[in-house]
Structure 1
């Protein structure tokens, strides 16, 4: 067997083993004496308890009594937070980046490239080996994204909980890419992006006949875009340059659509306008260099300046976000190091993305009635020296193992009597 095939096979087996080992029922438990960072109205509670029954948080406070049959977990003052947001990723859509059959996040149709009805959640694999890799790092949910294939209107995605469930929660999100990075997909000019968007809006609102030879959208595409134009879900726009963000805010106000900005390297330059428009921004808090001409004004203080102006700030990362989702904690910690309040950093990994994506009534905070998606940490979760001690999703204790931890343990073992490297000792 080819070494790469052997590695992929071993990784898939580990992922299936981790998925199969998930408990099938929610655990009733009382977590005692924790530093509870609720990420909600109650703020941070010292020496507090959290009671979980039937997968739901039933009580939060001091001196709670464990009902009969409820397991007690002693936190010893360690931080307890909601399960964290993993950013905008392809987790469950991409297994091996260089192996095309394992990548399902983009659509590339030559004859009719603009297909907003394309929904990547239909290809989501809940047995992906990337899920336990992210979950053991304290991540409980992610925004599954449609990537730009041959259209700057990429398609739909949704919020996926990393608990082994197969279906998204909450409304879908529509993904659009604007700026220089999408110019090749729109006639070599960012100006054409607005021209094409305006035509698509006209089609979705019935101002262009469905049989027009110049129509951009299919009937299904018109119906999907009309849904987002009516406020049923966010349009998430990947954009960095301040000039493009200004045009985006004007377009959103004119068409009365709900948008979110992803990236936003120069968003700080328009912080008051973004705050007034109530547009959340998913920033890459490590973007501090002019990596391209859309990021000339990038700064490590982007998140802090946006938050100070009243913008809801969350986090996502550029590059290989799916395989390195754990680094989202580093983004938040880096933003805090450059002026973002610590509480806002945690909110950007919990409450803010949940609310922005329409699932804040279920996850994102530690509050009565919310799903018991919790993480007990060894220390400050925004300091990457600390780790997740235990993760619960829906009250279920998640196995704190993944393909990576299995490989670590395998190679740390002695060679035994075989004389072979640790990989062959068993």
Structure 2
């Protein structure tokens, strides 16, 4: 057992809360008890008044799929040999020994949803994993976690250069509908009581069964207003779960997003407006959506923003007026709920995994740093 004492804690269990000095008892990698605790059996960690929060969660990145500083050999995020690739699995490409995993721990990011990029209309499945471990199979929180789809400039740019569909937004939507109709038919026939009516095994279609079972959402790369509407339209047509990722122009359609109540994973708001569909990129997007009652998570899209700077992405949202506690929720409980793993991570609560970070001060202050990061009750990173 481990007992953390004298920490100022934000559990992220409340709609709003102040720091409270409480003890945290950990046993077998889980949070066993919160409150004023004494134990003769536990190893005591004295937090000395530092700030304890649940580990941060990056709900959209490509950690381990675009490795650091090794070029082509470490670029495994986009299989650009065909626009429809549902059968691809992130866990088969993630290198957990990429040094960016250590960077994640140094920035308090203890879990990520990582997966294929946006070159393809349908790119394969994401995995939600913890950021410590030498073997990906031992790091999984949820796999598959989502089916990546992409709208807008990226797929049309990639495939128009090959003189292959899609080269327009119309074709992107048509390619997506075509595979979803095929998968829906496959899924329905597979449930037939008559063996002779069941379809012949199809590797691609098998990958889409969890989508039609509503076990995982479509994870839609969409920046522009029209692309966001298309993602929503298609998800509704097939009655599928959906998350909206990037949502760059979400602040321009807030009332409609409020009606839809789809989880929005916003960012990356750092960086240049490198293409037309990013012309309205703003740190205010997360603020505006949150104030409208929409559940928001903030992403890095690593390696677009280095994974260790997830807290700074939230800090800039606070700078333009986002509530400080809402920004912390967008790094903790909100992404946990959007990703469907809030039963294990995202807050400090009895029964959840002991995945916590001790900060020297306010995590959204650039001058503060991670003292240590803990996963499953074990300290896996200490500041130098």
TM-score (normalised: structure 1): 0.79
Deviations 1:189-221 (A, max 9, x none): 11111111111111111289x9xxxxxxx9221
Distance 1:292 1:91 in 2: 23
Whether 2:122 is the aligned partner of 1:153: answer yes
- From 86, 100, 124, the equivalent of 2:72 is 100
Contact 2:31 2:353 (8 Å CA) reproduced: yes
- Greater Cα shift, 383-392 or 43-52: 43-52
TM-aligned CA deviation for residue 124 of structure 1: 2.3
TM-aligned CA deviation for residue 254 of structure 1: 2.1
SS in structure 1 of the partner of residue 154 of structure 2:
helix
Distance 1:313 1:113 in 2: 29
Deviations 1:272-331 (A, max 9, x none): 322332211111263597543223333321111100111111111356247x10111111
Whether 2:156 is the aligned partner of 1:174: answer no
Whether 2:28 is the aligned partner of 1:54: answer yes
Q: Which residue is equivalent to 1:17? A: none
Q: Which residue is equivalent to 1:9? A: none
TM-aligned CA deviation for residue 45 of structure 1: 4.2
- From 235, 241, 259, the equivalent of 1:276 is 259
Whether 2:269 is the aligned partner of 1:286: answer yes
Instruction: Give unpaired runs (5+ residues) of structure 2.
Output: 160-164, 190-200
Alignment of structure 1 residues 21-36 onto 2, 5 Å: 28-36=1-9
**CA distance 1:241–1:223, change in 2 (3 Å):** same
TM-aligned CA deviation for residue 255 of structure 1: 1.6
Instruction: Give unpaired runs (5+ residues) of structure 1.
Output: 1-27, 211-217, 406-426
- Structure 1 ranges of 4+ moved more than 6 A: none
Contact 2:343 2:352 (8 Å CA) reproduced: yes
**CA distance 1:128–1:343, change in 2 (3 Å):** same
Contact 1:249 1:274 (8 Å CA) reproduced: no
Distance 1:200 1:374 in 2: 41
Q: Which residue is equivalent to 2:106? A: 136
Q: Which residue is equivalent to 1:297? A: 280
Contact 2:183 2:209 (8 Å CA) reproduced: yes
SS in structure 2 of the partner of residue 332 of structure 1:
helix
Q: Which residue is equivalent to 1:254? A: 237
Alignment of structure 1 residues 4-19 onto 2, 5 Å: none
Deviations 1:211-259 (A, max 9, x none): xxxxxxx922122223213311121111110111122222222221111
Structure whose alpha-carbon radius of gyration is higher: 1
Distance 2:261 2:143 in 1: 18
**CA distance 1:182–1:247, change in 2 (3 Å):** same
Contact 1:88 1:142 (8 Å CA) reproduced: yes
TM-aligned CA deviation for residue 386 of structure 1: 0.5
Contact 2:264 2:297 (8 Å CA) reproduced: yes
Distance 1:276 1:301 in 2: 20
Distance 1:269 1:237 in 2: 18
SS in structure 1 of the partner of residue 136 of structure 2:
coil
Contact 1:92 1:125 (8 Å CA) reproduced: yes
TM-aligned CA deviation for residue 97 of structure 1: 4.9
Q: Superposition RMSD on alpha carbons, in Å?
A: 2.4
SS in structure 1 of the partner of residue 381 of structure 2:
coil
Distance 1:55 1:339 in 2: 37
Q: Which residue is equivalent to 2:177? A: 198
- Aligned pairs, how many? 362
Contact 2:66 2:303 (8 Å CA) reproduced: no
SS in structure 1 of the partner of residue 362 of structure 2:
coil
Distance 1:132 1:299 in 2: 29
Distance 2:284 2:225 in 1: 15
Distance 1:289 1:130 in 2: 22
SS in structure 2 of the partner of residue 64 of structure 1:
coil
TM-aligned CA deviation for residue 121 of structure 1: 0.8
Contact 2:59 2:339 (8 Å CA) reproduced: no
Q: Which residue is equivalent to 1:380? A: 362
Distance 1:348 1:379 in 2: 18
Distance 2:22 2:301 in 1: 37
TM-aligned CA deviation for residue 171 of structure 1: 4.2
TM-score (normalised: structure 2): 0.87
Distance 1:297 1:103 in 2: 29
